[in-house]
Amino acid sequence: MKTLIFLPLLALSILITGKYSSHLKDTVDSNHKFYTDESDISKAIQGAWTSSETNEAGEKITITTIVMDGYLAETLYNEKTGAFVRTFGGSWAIDKNLFMIKIEFSSADSTAVGTTKEQLFDLKGDTILFEGSDKIWTRIDSGQEGDLNGAWLITGRKRDGNMVRRTPGDRKTMKILSSSRFQWIAFNTATGKFSGTGGGSYTAENGTYTEQIEFFSRDNSRVGAKLSFQYEVIENEWHHSGMSSKGAPIYEIWSPRIMPEKSNE
């Protein structure tokens, strides 16, 4: 059974170029080992990664990708102005040095949802190169530390004092966390509709979960805000409570997002 994982950076190159580079293939074949144990490469690739590019105005655009538990989310934003540029993500599969991503959401191109792309990569320590791209991706963290690292789906929300549970269908709100980065995304895999996203850095210590917002697709004025909540993991579910940015009390339950192959679905 093949382990599904994510590989960020690659996806961006795929969406931009959509073609292979024989030069990278030759380099990988001749100079670097193949990962024959998929569990090793799965662990090595997980965590948070970053790169950057320059837009037409000469401004630096930061790119961050979170790769955890078979899913990934990648976002481009202007760190200086707080402007959101775009995001995309989905699930990944790996075969030696070939990565495959199935797109589940894309703020820039809804027609990409449901498509699968492939690309060669070269992982060396804490850097990654992808075929067809001159970007160098560097590791932010390994994704191995913390109580909340992984991919989660919202499955419960308290309304009028009552906890309302639901099973995610085509409409999903996913939150994906590495050891230090977080991103939530609301999307519909059936229609391709992207509804919103936000993310940045976070800490989770002694029952307190604190987010530092670095991008928010719906409202750039939210960038820079710091929000703190209480958290507890009960029977493998994340109970998240506190006050929203608008001052309203919230209580949510997030369940681990399990790859179908792992849950035997």
pLDDT at 238 over 80: yes
Based on the domain organization, do 49 and 111 belong to the same domain?
A: yes
CA 92, CA 87: separation in Å to the nearest integer?
A: 16
- Percentage of residues of the chain with pLDDT beyond 90: 72
Give the closest residue to 176 by CA, choosing from 42, 69, 30, 64: 69
- What is the pLDDT, as a whole number, of residue 100? 85
pLDDT at 39 over 70: no
Q: Which long-range contacts (CB under 8 A, 24 or more apart) does 72-78 make?
A: 72/6, 72/7, 72/8, 72/11, 72/101, 72/176, 73/174, 73/176, 73/183, 73/185, 73/197, 73/199, 74/8, 74/9, 74/11, 74/12, 75/183, 75/197, 75/199, 75/215, 76/12, 77/214, 77/215
- What is the pLDDT, as a whole number, of residue 37? 56
pLDDT at 103 over 60: yes
pLDDT at 11 over 90: no
Mean pLDDT throughout 8-23?
40
- Number of domains present in the structure of the chain: 2
Based on the domain organization, do 125 and 174 belong to the same domain?
A: no
pLDDT per position as a tens digit, 66-87: 999 999 999 999 999 999 999 9
Q: The domain containing residue 76 runs over which residues?
A: 8-141
Q: How confident is the model at residue 29 (pLDDT cuts 50, 70, 90)?
A: very low
pLDDT at 33 over 60: no
Based on the domain organization, do 12 and 117 belong to the same domain?
A: yes
Give the closest residue to 129 by CA, choosing from 24, 17, 5, 16: 24
pLDDT per position as a tens digit, 111-157: 999 999 998 999 999 999 999 999 999 999 999 999 999 999 999 99
Among 141, 174, 208, residue at a domain's last position? 141
pLDDT at 197 over 80: yes
- What is the pLDDT, as a whole number, of residue 206? 95
Among 141, 174, 205, residue at a domain's last position? 141
Q: How confident is the model at residue 247 (pLDDT cuts 50, 70, 90)?
A: confident
Chain position carrying tokens 């992984």:
150
Compare 255 and 31 and report the one with higher pLDDT.
255
- What is the pLDDT, as a whole number, of residue 260? 72
Chain position carrying tokens 């391709």:
192
Do the domain assignments include residue 2?
no
Least confident of 25-39, 161-175, 185-199, 217-231: 25-39
251 neighbors 157 (Cβ within 8 angstroms): yes
CA 92, CA 135: separation in Å to the nearest integer?
A: 20
**What CATH number does the domain containing 248 carry?**
2.40.128.280
Based on the domain organization, do 91 and 41 belong to the same domain?
A: yes
Do the domain assignments include residue 3?
no
- What is the pLDDT, as a whole number, of residue 111? 97
pLDDT at 245 over 80: no
In sequence order, the β-bridge partners of residue 216 are 198
CA 34, CA 9: separation in Å to the nearest integer?
A: 19
Based on the domain organization, do 123 and 188 belong to the same domain?
A: no
Residue 38 CA, chain-centre distance (Å), reads: 20
Compare 30 and 79 and report the one with higher pLDDT.
79
Average pLDDT across the chain, whole number: 86
Do the domain assignments include residue 159?
yes
Query: Model-level pTM?
Result: 0.85
